């Protein structure tokens, strides 16, 4: 039994020897620093290419006196929803894995109901020295203002949860919203033969809520693509407190006895479940979004039938790791990474990794 030595790889020393320069000069070329004559730069570069030189990242990080700094900007966990706890956990896991390599993460949070806090936080971030940003661009205009500034400063950034196309982001990691809605249509179409489907949007900002609108679009398009005798009804609930939701639902269900299934376009499906349970209505199929504790409780007791989820934890984890892999490992990243669309039921929920 003999110990295997590490492969003998070429390093700066060998390059320097071949180019007849010092390793400091090689280092300058490697990092595109100024102060090297064009001639020696070219010579060194060609040697680097010939040797297929791969820098030793271990040594690089060890020798470097400065930490690499990433910042993340996501919504604060609120009383309304703890959805953002999952991405935050994912971010913290990634942080734990890479902090041994000299990486520091600064975390910024904003209030989803207050654009101003978003702007404030981006301004705070720009006061620090950053090597990369991971953000949920909930407010489109404000996000663009921020990413423009990042571009100016050559700070790379990655979007999670929702995308703003054509903003030169390194990557987008999150759901394909249209397809999520389309899948919901497919699922519901399977579950019964004839009757009505009630689509429910619950949000204070339905008309600006990219998430809801795209999902509804996808959902409707499914039924256009098939020949189905199902009819789609819809309610928009802009007052998001429970009494208001209850009022809307009871009126709707009283009027339309033939509603067989209810599709809620976001995580507020738990409020609908609460109503159905209170009303003793057990014969309706209920489909909604997100693996939140309250939703899971209703899934377990059979009030909710299916939840569609998109691994928010993994979005956070992957987002930060993508930053790390590009900035530190110089590995390529996918421009768009759509999360799988997961269907959660009573039976598989215990095995779901959010």
Partner DNA sequence: CTGAAAGCGCTTACAG
d(Cα 83, Cα 288) in Å, to the nearest integer? Answer: 14
User: How many angstroms separate the Cα of 211 from the Cα of each of 38, 162, 174, 175, 206?
Assistant: 52, 8, 11, 10, 9
The residue among 176, 117, 126, 168 whose CA lies nearest residue 146 is: 126
Q: Does 279 bind DNA (CB under 7 A)?
A: no
Q: Does 282 bind DNA (CB under 7 A)?
A: no
| Complex with DNA: residue 23 or 252, whichever CB lies closer | 23
Q: Give me the 37-66 binding string for DNA, x by CB under 7 A, dash otherwise.
A: xxxxx-----------x-xx--xx-xxxxx
| Contact assessment for residue 138 and residue 118, using Cβ atoms and an 8 Å cutoff | yes
Residue 257 interacts with, from DNA, a second copy, none (CB under 5-8 Å by kind): none
Stretch that binds DNA, among 28-36, 263-271, 336-344, 345-353 (CB under 7 A): 28-36
Which residues make up the interface to a second copy (CB under 8 A)? 1-7, 56-59, 61-62, 65-67, 69, 96-97, 100-102, 104, 127-129, 176, 179, 182-183, 186-187, 190-191, 222, 305, 325, 329, 331, 338-343, 345-348, 350-353
3-state secondary structure of 26: helix
Q: Give me the 6-25 binding string for DNA, x by CB under 7 A, dash otherwise.
A: x--x-xxx------xxxxxx
3-state secondary structure of 109: strand
Distance of closest approach, residue 18 Cβ to a second copy, in angstroms: 23
d(Cα 119, Cα 114) in Å, to the nearest integer? Answer: 9
| Complex with a second copy: residue 18 or 69, whichever CB lies closer | 69
d(Cα 109, Cα 144) in Å, to the nearest integer? Answer: 17
| Contact assessment for residue 292 and residue 270, using Cβ atoms and an 8 Å cutoff | yes
The residues of the shown chain that bind DNA, judged by CB under 7 A, are 6, 9, 11-13, 20-25, 27-28, 30-31, 34-41, 53, 55-56, 59-60, 62-66
């Amino acid at each position: 039994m003999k110990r295997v030595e590490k492969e003998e790889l070429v390093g700066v020393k060998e390059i320097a020897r071949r180019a007849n320069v010092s390793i400091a000069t090689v280092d300058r070329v490697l990092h595109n620093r100024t102060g090297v004559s064009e001639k020696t730069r070219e010579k060194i570069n060609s040697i680097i290419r010939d040797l297929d030189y791969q820098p030793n990242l271990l040594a690089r990080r060890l020798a470097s006196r400065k930490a690499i700094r990433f910042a993340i900007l996501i919504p604060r966990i609120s009383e309304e929803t703890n959805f953002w706890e999952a991405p935050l956990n994912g971010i913290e896991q990634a942080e734990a894995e890479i902090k041994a390599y000299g990486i520091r993460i600064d975390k910024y949070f904003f209030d989803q109901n207050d654009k101003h806090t978003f702007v404030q936080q981006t301004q705070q971030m720009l006061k620090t020295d950053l090597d990369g940003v991971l953000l949920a661009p909930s407010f489109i205009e404000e996000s663009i203002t921020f990413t423009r500034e990042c571009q100016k400063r050559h700070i790379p950034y990655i979007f999670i949860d929702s995308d703003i196309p054509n903003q030169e982001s390194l990557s987008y990691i999150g759901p394909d919203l249209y397809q999520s809605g389309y899948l919901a249509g497919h699922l519901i179409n399977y579950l019964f033969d004839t009757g009505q489907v009630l689509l429910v949007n619950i949000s204070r900002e339905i008309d600006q809520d990219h998430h809801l609108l795209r999902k509804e679009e996808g959902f409707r398009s499914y039924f256009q693509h098939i020949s189905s005798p199902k009819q789609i009804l819809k309610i928009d609930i802009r007052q998001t407190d429970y009494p208001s939701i209850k009022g809307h639902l009871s009126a709707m269900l009283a009027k339309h006895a033939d509603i067989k299934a209810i599709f809620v376009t976001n995580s507020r499906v738990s409020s609908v479940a609460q109503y159905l349970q209170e009303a003793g209505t057990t014969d309706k199929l209920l489909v909604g979004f997100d693996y939140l504790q309250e939703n899971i409780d209703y899934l377990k007791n059979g009030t909710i039938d299916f939840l569609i989820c998109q691994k928010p934890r993994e979005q956070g984890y992957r987002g930060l790791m993508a930053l790390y892999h590009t900035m530190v490992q110089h590995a390529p990243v996918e421009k768009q990474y759509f999360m799988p669309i997961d269907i959660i039921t009573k039976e598989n929920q215990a095995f779901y990794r959010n």
